[in-house]
Structure 1
Amino acid sequence: MIDPFSYKDIRFPKDFLFGAATAGAQIEGNVNSQFDSSAYIEEKKKMGEAFTPAGKSEDSWNHFDEDLALLKQMKLGLYRMSIEWSRVEIRPGKYDESAVMQYVEELKKLKNAGIKICLTLHHFSHPTWFEEKGAFRTLNNISDFERYLQYIVPIVAPYIDYWIVLNEPNMPFQYSISERMNLLSYHVAGYKIVKENSDKPVSSALSYSPKHPFRGSSDKLDSLMANWLDYTENEYFAHAFRTGEVSMPDHDAYVVPGLKNSIDFWAINTYIRQNIDGHKKNFHDSSYDATRLPVLSHPFYMEEMSPEIIINLASRFQDKPILISENGFAVKNDDVRIIYISEMLQEIHQALDMGYNIIGYTHWSLLDNWEWGDYSATFGLASVDGDYQRHLKKSGEFYGKIAMQKQFTQKILREYLNQQPKLK
């Protein structure tokens, strides 16, 4: 690990946003999305994959006020959250108005607390009935997505400061290449509806990880796979919004009307670089012994800290303002999270000094939560006990102090960390 005690004191601009992020399906509990369906759980079993259903998760549906109290305690200025489609549109064209009113009350409370809201309209999860129709595997379902957004967007628009139509439509573990292409058309549909009802900036969040050839650029196979993955996960996304063209290997390219410049800022979710070993079938599954960090009892892709990803993405997406819409570290020892936050904020500040327009940093996550079939990957600034009580961690206190003062200093660091932590 890099030595955070050697970092210089830094100050962030007054309008820089410090925030935290969550997703409804991961914290609310009982959202009844496709991930809760018996068909999905049975499919996971058939594939031999370990899968724990979300269940009540952190029960934020009944504990929103406690979540809000955490945000206020940390003096955060931005909260990224989602509205769960499966809660709102229980059947095609049939809406649960009581659920909608609860969301509205949550938004009002955030605004009354002076917290800006970044709202995600689709964060991986959706109604089972939409999944059964083929979801994003076909363009024939755009009308369902439009109908839902035409209902919900006007209701919540008065409270929203930043919009994210889709979360990580480029995610390979969630979507096939054809789905990734289709989702760009769904984004355009959502962008148009939001713009009809709001003058606030709109985006869709890119899951960004630089692809590093494991043996270096001289290895042709590693480089080939790294470049291929970079295009099919990162570059196709950027190219589409810059040109309007949807293009993928082994597919005919086409232009989607309205796609070009249909984002107002880059929303970037970023955690790590990926070391690509083209000599393995499981090409993502390689790490360097010297930098590997055994921070969890089993691997969860968070085995390396890579603060240089911030400069990498800032230079690559410099044509629009950038919001780091997710960034965090899954680790058991909370002291290690303090080091991770310190590293990332140092790099963000350096990017600002270089002239890149990063407008804010949204930490993933506010709470330890359900990570799409797994509860062991603890990302939270706060933990949740068996009685659903929230407990702000030391890393949350540390992050909150930085957010309140808009600066990282050695004095703040040493209030919460006196020595390099052990990983085990």
Structure 2
Amino acid sequence: MIDLHEYPITEFPDDFLMGVASAGQQIEGNNCSWHDDPKYYGTQNYTGVPWVPAGKAMDSYHRYEEDIALAKEMHLDAFRLSVEWSRIEQEPGVFSEKEIMHYVHLLKRLKEEGMKTIVTLHHVSHPVWFHDLGAFNKMENLTYFLRYVETIVPRIMEYTDYFLVLNELNIPFEYSIEERINMLQFHAYAYRLIKKFTDIPTSSTISYSFKEPFRGRFDRADSVLAEYVDWIENEFFFHAVRTGEIIMPYHDVIYCPELKDSMDFWAVNTYIRQLIDSRKAFPIGSVYNATHFKAMDTPIYTEEIEPEIMLKMLMRLNDKPVFITENGISCKSDKRRMEYIASMLVAIKQGMDLGANVIGYLHWSLLDNWEWGSYAPIFGLAYCDENLDRHLKKSGAFYGAIAKNKKITSEIIHKFYDAKE
């Protein structure tokens, strides 16, 4: 069991950013992306429940002022969002000035409220026509993506503090090996294009899950397989950015000079560790019966969660600044969410004390929202009622108190964590 009362006072530097992350497809509603096209329903469902489209979602397209107000209520100084390509270019080569100005105004409002903005240019969703062309399966589609980047970046860069080109291009259940190889190159060329306009720090996020041999490092089979799984999900990404080499099993190496040093910081979405069991056909999914956090309430992940993943990850990525661009837990218990937030922040601070350069922490997510085919997962610091009015949870107030003070104290723990749910 984690006992927050055993934690020392944990204090962060004044310039350490604390904020939230969101994605347009998941909160805006009526997004026009390929996820909303009936012919693709079901193709991305990994939640274990029947696929449902996003529909109106949380209607943040119209109610973003309420989202900003929630962030302000929590004293947050950073807000991550995605600009939705599917809104801006619903037909090839036809860009909507109205939709571009929507994002310009949204970003301007965030800046007016004193928040740093982290803008994702592609967060899983994209136009139906781009998907019909094969999306990232074909390198010849790069020209369409660069046309979009060239159009939107000059319009929004005045109100952007960090750019993220692509989100989680490394995850196997979303992208094939060929797509992952191509998307690294899409990132590289987009990065070089962005740098023609601005020196704003730019990266792409990796979905980082720590791989651990189920039977421990002395079990050779589990250890070798853990190294292999880590390479095809994590290390290929880091190696490619460091060297320009894209190395994947059973695939000739791809040399992409534009890729080398094309990330100004490591942007890491991290939630879980995965125990690798070589005795199973599907080696990911075994769990320890005694661990810090059990599997989540909703059936997205069967993996375990341990705060140490933060420290171990930071020690691995000490050659660049690191931005924790997503971290959160899907659970009904708001008390567990407070345990999760506090433990992850304490682990981050220990990593910083050991020399890691961490820009900030973005909690996923601001709202309970659409999670790629389902509304069942509960990640939010706030929830929406049947009228889509926003309500801050106690965990949101807890995180807000930490953000306001840039520290975790016994007083904050007592006020929020010890109170009855």
**TM-score, scaled to structure 2:** 0.96
Per-residue displacement from partner, 1:318-359 (whole Å, max 9, x unpaired)? 001000000001100111100000100111111111111011
Aligned match of 1:213: 213
Aligned match of 2:262: 262
Q: Report the CA distance between 1:375 and its aligned residue.
A: 1.0
Matches within 5 A, 1:207-286: 207-286=207-286
Per-residue displacement from partner, 1:154-177 (whole Å, max 9, x unpaired)? 100111001100001101111001
Deviates more, 1:286-295 or 1:15-24: 286-295
Deviates more, 1:18-27 or 1:188-197: 188-197
Q: Report the CA distance between 1:9 and its aligned residue.
A: 0.7
Aligned match of 1:94: 94
Matches within 5 A, 1:161-176: 161-176=161-176
Aligned match of 2:108: 108
Question: Matches of 2:292 and 2:69 in 1, distance apart?
Answer: 36
Per-residue displacement from partner, 1:205-233 (whole Å, max 9, x unpaired)? 01111111111223333222211110000
Matches within 5 A, 1:11-410: 11-41=11-41, 43=43, 50-291=50-291, 293=293, 296-301=296-301, 304-410=304-410
Q: Give the match's secondary structure for 1:268.
A: strand
Per-residue displacement from partner, 1:261-289 (whole Å, max 9, x unpaired)? 01100101101111111222222121111
* One-letter identity of the residue aligned with 1:199: D
Gaps of 5+ in 2: none
Q: Report the CA distance between 1:257 and its aligned residue.
A: 2.4
Residue 42 of structure 2 contacts residue 51 of structure 2 at CA under 8 Å; is this kept in 1? Answer: no
Q: Give the match's secondary structure for 1:95.
A: coil
Rate the CA distance shift 1:239–1:296 in 2: closer, same or farther, 3 A: closer
Question: Matches of 1:74 and 1:49 in 2, distance apart?
Answer: 32
Residue 19 of structure 1 contacts residue 77 of structure 1 at CA under 8 Å; is this kept in 2? Answer: yes
Q: Report the CA distance between 1:297 and its aligned residue.
A: 4.7
Aligned match of 1:414: 414
Rate the CA distance shift 1:398–1:302 in 2: closer, same or farther, 3 A: farther
Q: Report the CA distance between 1:41 and its aligned residue.
A: 1.1
Q: Report the CA distance between 1:40 and its aligned residue.
A: 0.8
Q: Give the match's secondary structure for 2:285.
A: coil
Question: Matches of 1:184 and 1:203 in 2, distance apart?
Answer: 11
Gaps of 5+ in 1: none
Rate the CA distance shift 1:380–1:136 in 2: closer, same or farther, 3 A: same
Per-residue displacement from partner, 1:24-71 (whole Å, max 9, x unpaired)? 0011011111111111116569xx972111111111001100000001
Residue 23 of structure 1 contacts residue 81 of structure 1 at CA under 8 Å; is this kept in 2? Answer: yes
Residue 314 of structure 2 contacts residue 356 of structure 2 at CA under 8 Å; is this kept in 1? Answer: yes
Question: Matches of 1:63 and 1:161 in 2, distance apart?
Answer: 23
Question: Matches of 2:418 and 2:132 in 1, distance apart?
Answer: 53
Rate the CA distance shift 1:171–1:36 in 2: closer, same or farther, 3 A: same
* One-letter identity of the residue aligned with 2:70: L
Deviates more, 1:63-72 or 1:93-102: 93-102
Question: Matches of 1:42 and 1:10 in 2, distance apart?
Answer: 44
* One-letter identity of the residue aligned with 1:58: M
Deviates more, 1:191-200 or 1:177-186: 191-200
Question: Matches of 1:420 and 1:66 in 2, distance apart?
Answer: 27
Q: Report the CA distance between 1:385 and its aligned residue.
A: 1.0
Question: Matches of 2:105 and 2:395 in 1, distance apart?
Answer: 29
C-alpha RMSD of the superposition: 1.7
Identity %: 49
**TM-score, scaled to structure 1:** 0.96
Residue 293 of structure 1 contacts residue 303 of structure 1 at CA under 8 Å; is this kept in 2? Answer: no
Question: Matches of 1:328 and 1:382 in 2, distance apart?
Answer: 13
Question: Matches of 1:370 and 1:278 in 2, distance apart?
Answer: 34
Aligned match of 1:4: 4
Question: Matches of 1:142 and 1:256 in 2, distance apart?
Answer: 14
Rate the CA distance shift 1:265–1:340 in 2: closer, same or farther, 3 A: same
